[in-house]
Structure 1
Amino acid sequence: MAVNRLNFSFSDCVHVYYRDSSCSFCIDVCPVEDVITQDDYRISVNTENCVSCGACVGVCPSEAFSLSGFDIETLFKTLKEESLLSCKKNLPCLSVLSVEDIVSAVLNAGSDVIFDTGYCRDCFIGTLLDEINKKVNEANYILEKIGVENRAITQDICFETEREEKNNRRSFLKNFGKAAAGLTFWALMPGISSFEEEKEEEVKNIVDEKINIKRRKRFVDALSSLNVDFSQIELGVDRISFTSDKWIDNSRCTNCSVCYNVCPTGALKAGEERLKILFQPKLCIKCRVCHEVCPEDCLHLKETLNMGTFLKETEVLAQHVMIPCEECLVPFSYKGDSTLCPRCRQLDEEIRDLLQIGE
């Protein structure tokens, strides 16, 4: 049996907050067929065939995946001494890092960080090189925009451990089970229990219980440590994968509250007696759940994200004046025109149509 190092917390999955979410990053990136699957809305993991590469950890927007025995905080502390990342040295796979992690790693190191891609093309678990390059390019775009000279750099180094230098690589790999083959990082780790008692997931109150994204805090802390005027820095929203800025068409928004109730991180929330919709880009994970649930399709992405806004501001996306409907007395968002709520207006229109048909 393969050692189960991958942990998955379904209660932190985006699909808990909106079951029909289009999010499928973990399924799309997994290099082994049928390890991560989706049945109806629920994501499942076949730990028997999982190779513990951690690619799903690097792409999951809500950090529902993690790896036992791998700690990014510890990794960052070592980068100032030697800024080399390799699957044969300190990572299970380079794909375990998110774009935010890569930017944070470079800022923490205070120098270029080298990504050893020498083993990627021949890796037995399949090619994740395109995914790694895509993340590195995005991270470097951010570093360039914020005026940092250091970069994440991919190089075919083929780092070898002392243990590998003494043994033929092929015979070395035969000593490990399916989950560890080709992943020297796990071979050098202390033993990790292969059995964890499954705990029954508790029902989550998605309105009140939001997800605290740890990598986001590291990213924000790393940016905040720089002596930079971020108010002058704009990122293209289509160039970044992990956050966004938004606007709401206030003429269409009905203040139904669905968007902020289902937001996984609390980036969207109500303000001032629920008459405002507020947004913190710093908490947004660009999961698009709010866009997908909006019944009026009035939530939109801005073209650019101001980094000063991202780090420090809470934006007011919509403001509402609530009045009781003339007909049903149910409060609704008044737009300065009709004093009938949308439901009663629709009913009136349907009655008029029926009368016209009768004539």
Structure 2
Amino acid sequence: MSASRLNFDIYSCVRVYYRYADCNKCVNVCPTQAINIENDKIKVNFENCVECGACVGNCPTESYKLNGFDLVDFYVKFTDLDKNFISCKVDLPCLSALDENYLVSICIDKNSDLILDIGHCGQCQIGKQLDIIKRNTEKANYILEQAGLDYRVKLEDIKFEKEEKQENKRRSFLKMFAKQTAALAFWAVEDKLEQIVENTEEEEEKPYKNIVSEKVIPEKRKILYTALSKIDPTDKCFEVEKIEFSSDKWIDNSKCTNCSICYNVCPTGALTPDDSKLKVLFSPTLCIKCRICHDVCPEKCIHLEEKLYLEDFISGKYKVLAQHVMIPCSECLVPFSYKGDTTVCPRCRQLEDELRELLKIGD
């Protein structure tokens, strides 16, 4: 069997930032179970991969690449075409590669409905992708509706066929597609991520990623941001529980200790400190709703807002989630976040409580 065209960059995966992260989108969209989670790490069986591209388009941090097909390049070229329908028989390996970021952006850029040709899905050998296509369509249409736009992503049974006769087998088509697209130019955007290594052995030889300083800003986030910035954001918002592309947050300042864990493990830099390290800042523009910050917070003081306002998303600005005054502990002299109630740090208070418990046991 020939080598897979799929590449996986483990150092862009959210599980590098937090191994127990709940994100498993690539696993859920893979039709052949080529992607699994073992020991809290993503494992890819490249022999089972059919190169549909679903993982490429649905991974929130774009950890996957498919040699010979680039989604950003496809997006730029398709928006220049005078057509508003996409078919797996000519445009891309599988429609499941287009998540809500691309679907919404294409509708806005073309200022029209977008038709997805699902006529071949029923006979497709990779099977379950129609459910993923429908789900991504629903997410995209919710965003378009809440943004006050009239156009929608629509699914139609077109069954588009190219003029030349094609084999009916899915894998045969994908192999043919690889030859046709091998010469695609990757010129769409600046500051592209470095080329991902082609096998896991090379990945293991790379130095471990510095999660504090090296953040991931997905290209599809730049595309969606640019598209939504064309819309008047006044009084437009999304219910956070109904969206996956971003969120808005708040922090209970009375509980936050300024431990810095949340923004150190944030994959995209949506959470960050200010220059003084006394404020925790947040930008919905960069958030991918991975919820890692919620999971790692020792005090569980990070919460989702009920709504994300479009104006906040397209502003690109950071807002203050928590603000601290640091003073030295009167017992151990280690600085801590002063809440106005005691000059003893939480650790010393905990030690005092433990000591009292021990004394009770002794009595």
TM-score, length of structure 1 as denominator length: 0.91
Q: Aligned equivalents of 1:316 and 1:216: distance in 2?
A: 22
Which residue is 2:26 aligned to?
A: 26
Unaligned runs of 5+ in 1: none
Q: How much identity, in percent, do the aligned residues show?
A: 50
Which residue is 1:234 aligned to?
A: 237
Which residue is 1:335 aligned to?
A: 339
Task: Write the letter of the residue equivalent to 2:270.
Answer: A
Assess if the C-alpha contact under 8 Å between 2:113 and 2:151 holds in 1: yes
Which residue is 1:208 aligned to?
A: 213
Q: 2:283 aligns with which of 280, 291, 295?
A: 280
**Following TM superposition, by how much is the alpha carbon of 1:281 offset from its aligned partner in structure 2, in angstroms?**
0.5
**Following TM superposition, by how much is the alpha carbon of 1:78 offset from its aligned partner in structure 2, in angstroms?**
2.8
Which residue is 1:13 aligned to?
A: 13
Q: Aligned equivalents of 1:114 and 1:297: distance in 2?
A: 43
Q: How does 1:244-255 map to 2 (within 5 A)?
A: 244-255=247-258
Task: Write the letter of the residue equivalent to 2:252.
Answer: D
**Alignment partner of 1:50 is 2:42:** no
Task: Write the letter of the residue equivalent to 2:19.
Answer: R
- Number of aligned residues: 345
Assess if the C-alpha contact under 8 Å between 2:7 and 2:198 holds in 1: no
Q: How does 1:174-185 map to 2 (within 5 A)?
A: 179-181=171-173, 185=177
SS at match of 2:47: coil
Task: Write the letter of the residue equivalent to 1:146.
Answer: A
Task: Write the letter of the residue equivalent to 2:52.
Answer: C
**Following TM superposition, by how much is the alpha carbon of 1:191 offset from its aligned partner in structure 2, in angstroms?**
7.5
Assess if the C-alpha contact under 8 Å between 1:93 and 1:183 holds in 2: no
**Following TM superposition, by how much is the alpha carbon of 1:220 offset from its aligned partner in structure 2, in angstroms?**
0.7
Assess if the C-alpha contact under 8 Å between 1:90 and 1:185 holds in 2: no
Task: Write the letter of the residue equivalent to 2:272.
Answer: K
The Cα RMSD (Å) is: 2.0
Q: Aligned equivalents of 2:177 and 2:86: distance in 1?
A: 11
Q: Aligned equivalents of 1:41 and 1:252: distance in 2?
A: 29
CA 322–225 in structure 1, closer or farther in 2 if over 3 Å, else same: same
Q: Aligned equivalents of 1:68 and 1:160: distance in 2?
A: 24
Q: 2:325 aligns with which of 321, 326, 340?
A: 321
Which residue is 1:68 aligned to?
A: 67
Q: Aligned equivalents of 1:196 and 1:262: distance in 2?
A: 26
CA 20–182 in structure 1, closer or farther in 2 if over 3 Å, else same: same
Q: Aligned equivalents of 1:290 and 1:51: distance in 2?
A: 34
Unaligned runs of 5+ in 2: 185-196
Q: How does 1:1-359 map to 2 (within 5 A)?
A: 1-33=1-33, 35-76=34-75, 77-79=77-79, 80-164=81-165, 172-173=167-168, 179-181=171-173, 185-186=177-178, 188-190=180-182, 196=198, 199=202, 200-226=205-231, 228=232, 230-312=233-315, 313-359=317-363
TM-score, length of structure 2 as denominator length: 0.90
Higher mean C-alpha deviation, range 65-74 or range 53-62: 65-74
SS at match of 1:232: coil
Task: Write the letter of the residue equivalent to 1:46.
Answer: N
Q: Aligned equivalents of 1:300 and 1:327: distance in 2?
A: 32
